[in-house]
Chains A and B, each alone.
Chain A
């Protein structure tokens, strides 16, 4: 008899994702699902899906879900959590959704200290619409709307959301991790678990920014994409814990 050593975690559905080969959304989904199960939160969790590649993420989570308007997931989550504080609420948002059109919603939700969790997937590009420049696109990075490379003199520097949100006085848990290698995946799971624990214990707003790949729109192989995260994204978007409620002065 073989021992069962690995299986689908109950918070995930038995479906094949629509994500491109080499995209790390699936890895991040899995980490969220594992954390919900390990903490025993699945049956009282409601997720809020963004607009972007992960708009269909509700197909892969075995929990109640809302599908938000572009960038508005933090407002949706605010309404949910304020009316039903007993629920565990998380938003799953990309960088176009969170850092551009939803910049105001995430800023004020964090500032009010809304007690939900945000999984912020930063792949430095708009994925679903076909690879346009995002607020997080790196200097010089080529996209369909920055075909000669992002010119910071013209469109400004990439927004570092974790640093920006950490300047708020309101206590929060804010961390940045990466999933381009196995060590990063382990760190990401720890951070996601910590984020949901802060929510479970009704302590603070929590956000984990995860550096992610987009091989299709970057025009790279899955392996080269992981290498590009390490060589280009990690130096600008430094992983680490940016804020904890304990360290808020």
Chain B
């Protein structure tokens, strides 16, 4: 199944039957899949007039307590950032997928990872965080998509997937049946569905009284601390023993790094890989621990170097952190990573 279509199907199987979006390459297949699939499940598919409207419709839809989601790509996510700030301030659960392309500006429609900072730091005005999952395969996209709805409901906060044009466009076998999905929680204590037999519910983001405004922000900060403690996800490869070099990569580039590790093994060079699955919360403690047994790190990204800052932050200057990146839609080949590792090892 194609990555983008699998994302749409995963959402439906997670009970999310309300989709508002705007066409943008390289993720339009999600809409094209869902417009045919939603009628089967009695769901809502609506193509809005812009990403601005799609994300704002998501706010209205999420306020009913139903599971809702949208998908877009980098320039569209910029437009959605207004609504995402409001959605987060209103503590609404939504799921948003960014099938990242190369930027800035229109950039290009080929794969990119340069929205790392946008997703983990700057997804809108104000003090807030969204969970960011970085799948590296179509199967993992499905699993994380379904988990995304569960965590969005659990924390009443947006959960996002940072995919890219490669994972979105590639076809791989998918198993939906072994992905568990708990029932959504009861949302009737806050959802706006008509004030029958109860006091009105109000979903707002304006706090003119600074005491109220600070309280709302501190409640969110406490929620983020819980997420940071409980929701870090990562994977390691060939790091069971101390290594001279640990590669660090997320999403599709982690797979390039896996191939590079195989190539290096054939030359008798053992290198490991640390792959964050959650970009926020970033697995800082795990990476910090890894620094005790690793001589140096090499971050490989399709950007000018964004995740590399988080690695430096985690390692706290104790070990050198190097960077290799390609931009503009250029995907690094395994041989390039091999050459970079050899250069660092003086070979």
Q: Bound pair: A and B?
A: yes
Known: A58-B202, A64-B200, A67-B204. A83 touches B83 (CB 8 A): no
The yes or no answer to A180 lying at the interface (CB within 8 A) is no
Shortest distance between the CB of B158 and any CB in chain A (Å): 15
Q: CA A72 – CA B44 in complex, angstroms?
A: 20
Determine if B194 and A69 form an interchain contact, defined as CB atoms under 8 angstroms apart: no
Q: Are A82 and B46 in contact (CB under 8 A)?
A: yes
Interface size on B, residues (CB 8 A): 38
Q: In the complex, which residues 64-81 of chain B have their Cβ closer than 8 Å to any Cβ of chain A?
A: 64, 66, 68
A43 neighbours in B (Cβ, 8 Å):
194-197
B123 → A minimal CB distance (Å): 15
0/1 per residue, B194-214, Cβ < 8 Å to A? 111100111111100000000
Interface hits, B108-135 → A, CB 8 Å? none
Pair count A-B, CB < 8 A: 136
Contact flag A65-B192 (CB < 8 Å), given A76-B59, A79-B20, A80-B63: yes
- Contact (Cβ within 8 A) A75 B202: no
B319: min CB distance to chain A, Å:
44
Q: How far is the CA of A46 from the CA of B59 in the complex (A)?
A: 13
B64 touches A83 (CB 8 A): yes
Q: How far is the CA of A75 from the CA of B21 in the complex (A)?
A: 12
Q: In the docked arrangement, what's the CA distance between A44 and B50, Å?
A: 29
**Please, how many angstroms separate the alpha-carbon atoms of A181 and B74 in the complex?**
51
Measured between alpha carbons, how far is A66 from B60 in the docked complex, in Å? Answer: 8
Q: Which residues of B contact A105 (CB under 8 A)?
A: 49, 52-53, 56
A108 in the interface (beta carbon within 8 A): yes
Name the B residues within 8 Å of A76 (CB-CB). Answer: 56-57, 59-60, 63
Type the 1/0 row for A135-167, where 1 means its CB is closer than 8 Å to any CB of B. 000000000000000000000000000000000
Complex CA distance for A81 and B194, rounded to whole angstroms: 12
B53 contacts across to A, CB distance below 8 A: 72, 75, 78, 104-105, 108
Residue pair B194, A80 in contact (C-beta under 8 Å): no
Residues of B within 8 A of A77 (CB): 60
- With a cutoff of 8 Å between Cβ atoms, the chain B residues found around residue A56 in the complex are 206
Q: B194, A72: Cβ atoms under 8 Å?
A: no
- A45, CB-defined interface residue at 8 Å: yes
Judge whether B194 and A64 touch: CB under 8 Å: yes
B297 at the interface (CB under 8 A from A): no
Instruction: Please tell me if the beta carbons of B18 and A82 are within 8 angstroms of each other in the complex.
Output: yes
In the complex, which residue of chain A has the Cβ closest to the Cβ of B17?
A: A83
Which single member of A48, A55, A87, A108 contacts B206 (CB below 8 Å)?
A55
A27 CA / B58 CA spacing, docked (Å): 32
Chain A residues 47-87 with CB under 8 Å of chain B are 48-49, 55-56, 58, 61-69, 72, 75-84, 87
Contacts of A65 in B (CB 8 A): 192, 200-204
Residue in B20, B58, B82, B195 whose Cβ sees the most chain A Cβ within 10 Å: B195
B contact residues around A79 at 8 Å (CB): 18, 20, 56-63, 68
B58 contacts across to A, CB distance below 8 A: 79
- Tell whether, in the assembled complex, residue B49 and residue A80 are in contact, meaning their CB atoms are under 8 Å apart: no
Partner of B60, one of A48, A58, A62: A48
A49 to B53, CA, bound (A): 16
A65 to B192, CA, bound (A): 7
B193 within 8 A of A: yes
Separation of A69 and B202 alpha carbons in the complex (Å): 15
The reply to whether the CB of B263 lies closer than 8 angstroms to some CB of chain A is no
User: Are B18 and A83 interface neighbours, CB within 8 A?
Assistant: yes
A97 to chain B, nearest CB (A): 13
> When the two chains form the complex, which single residue of A44, A61, A82, A104 contacts B49, counting CB atoms closer than 8 Å?
A104
Judge whether B44 and A75 touch: CB under 8 Å.
no
Query: Which residues in window 21-61 of B have CB below 8 A to A?
Result: 44, 46, 48-50, 52-54, 56-61
- In this assembly, does A25 line the interface, its C-beta being within 8 Å of a C-beta of chain B? no
Which residues from A are CB-within-8-Å of B204?
49, 58, 65-67
Q: A83 near B66 (CB under 8 angstroms)? A: yes
Is residue A42 contacting chain B, with contact meaning CB distance below 8 A? Answer: yes
Contact A69 B192 (CB under 8 A): no
Distance, CA A79 to CA B204, complexed state (A): 16
Q: With A and B bound together, what is the CA distance between A44 and B196 in angstroms?
A: 7
Closest chain-B Cβ to A114's Cβ sits at a distance in Å of 10
**Contact of A75 (CB < 8 Å), options: B57, B62, B192:** B57
B195 near A108 with CB under 8 A, answer: no
Cβ of B162 to closest chain A Cβ, rounded Å: 24
Q: Mark B78-117, 1 if CB is under 8 A from A, else 0.
A: 0000110010001000000000000000000000000000
User: Are A80 and B200 in contact, CB atoms less than 8 angstroms apart?
Assistant: no
Report B-chain residues with C-beta under 8 Å of the C-beta of A82: 18, 20, 44, 46, 57, 61
Which residues of A are in contact with B by a Cβ distance under 8 Å? 42-46, 48-49, 55-56, 58, 61-69, 72, 75-84, 87-88, 104-105, 107-108
List 20 extra interface pairs beyond A61-B200, A76-B59, A108-B48, CB under 8 A: A43-B196, A46-B192, A49-B204, A56-B206, A58-B204, A62-B200, A64-B193, A65-B192, A67-B90, A68-B56, A72-B53, A75-B53, A75-B57, A79-B56, A79-B59, A79-B61, A79-B63, A82-B44, A82-B46, A105-B53
